[in-house]
Amino acid sequence: MKHGFIMDPLGGVKAYKDTTYFLMLAAESRGHTVYYLDQSDLYTVGRQVRAPLQEVRVHPDVKEPFTIKSKIDTALDDLDVVWIRTDPPVDRTYIYTTLLLDLLPANVKVVNRPSSIRDWNEKLAALAYPTLTPTTVVSRDKEIIREFVETNARTVLKPIDGHGGKGIIFVEPGETGLMDIIQSITVSGSHWVIAQKYLDAATEGDKRILLLNGQPLGAVLRLHAEGEELNNLDQGGTALASEITDRDREICTTLKDDLCNAGVVFAGIDIIGGMLMEINITSPTGLQEMCRFDDCAYHEEIVDSLN
């Protein structure tokens, strides 16, 4: 099979922890042909989607993970699988990428379905399951956000298009300069913000569960660095071994049919204190850590599922 990975530049890949690299390595180990392409290189001739592809040899040595074998400008129709693995944010370029990939014929498997990447905002998608999520308000009205903050002991404010923990702020009722904080995070009322009741369980970390076709593969616990609050690995957090609880399975079961119907093959959900926080379907991470902790080749299982 031929696998094309739309991703950030190879030179910036941190192979010792990168999930996309691990998926590429699994495809290589299973005898598949692996290609790299950048989303900015996509173009069309009529309805046909094309791009300059670089055939890549993927090595287990994380110090020298890639060797470029050849380059060819070709139609993506020739691929069996196209992986959308460019890191968020899902900005205008990302949206246009998904629209172009919508033109691919049905015989090309796109992971994940482009229209679903547009529809399933990582933070908003969880709100479709109100019984699973903390009390939440989404607004760019400063007064609505202020009133929500004043009714909770503590509130988390998140940019609606944030990623990797960037832009997250913790506020409390009566906090000095609260309106200035809200003014800043909403960019003077021009950007929607997610205001969410703070969960005390966040001090114990947040759990990332990776799902394949709606079924949980495994979990890792992300724990904040000493003196910090954010558990995100990009913000200095540490990945620890974790187990999937009955509550976790209940959440996964609730999501399963919706994910499968939306063509979401590979997803990552974030859970704090048994509550669903985010549904990540752009480029979920944590796969390498999960494989090491569980001593399981989940990356190969994911690739094999596409045969």
**Residue 56 contacts residue 24 (beta carbons within 8 Å):** yes
Number of domains in the chain: 3
Domain with 275 in it: 201-304
Q: Which helix (H) or strand (E) holds 143?
A: helix 142-150
Per-residue pLDDT at 237: 80
What pLDDT tens digit does each residue of the chain (307 aa) get?
A: 999 999 999 999 999 999 999 999 999 999 999 999 999 999 999 999 999 999 999 999 999 999 999 999 999 999 999 999 999 989 999 999 999 999 999 999 999 999 999 999 999 999 999 999 999 999 999 999 999 999 999 999 999 987 777 789 999 999 999 999 999 999 999 999 999 999 999 999 999 999 999 999 999 999 987 777 776 777 678 889 999 999 999 999 999 999 999 999 999 999 999 999 999 999 999 999 999 999 999 999 999 999 9
Which CATH number is 74's domain given? 3.40.50.20
Taking the C-alpha atoms of residue 102 and residue 193, their distance in angstroms, rounded to an integer, is 29
In a domain, 273, yes or no: yes
Per-residue pLDDT at 137: 97
Concatenated DSSP letters for 200-250? Answer: GGGGG-EEEEEEETTEEEEEEEEEPPTT-----GGGT-EEEE----HHHHH
In a domain, 130, yes or no: no
In a domain, 131, yes or no: no
Q: Are 207 and 277 part of one and the same domain?
A: yes
Per-residue pLDDT at 54: 98
Pairing of strands 48-58, 43-45: antiparallel
In a domain, 147, yes or no: yes
Q: What is the 3-state secondary structure (H, E, C) of 38-82?
A: CHHHCEEECCEEEEEEEEEEECCCCCCCEEEEEEEEEEHHHCCEE
Per-residue pLDDT at 235: 64
Q: Are 95 and 45 part of one and the same domain?
A: yes
State both tokens at 200: 């005390």
Q: How many CB atoms lie within 10 A of CB 35?
A: 28
The string of pLDDT tens digits covering residues 51-96 is 999 999 999 999 999 999 999 999 999 999 999 999 998 999 999 9
User: What angle (nearest 5°) sits at the alpha carbon of residue 184, between those of residues 181 and 190?
Assistant: 130
Q: Are 224 and 297 part of one and the same domain?
A: yes
Q: Are 72 and 152 part of one and the same domain?
A: no
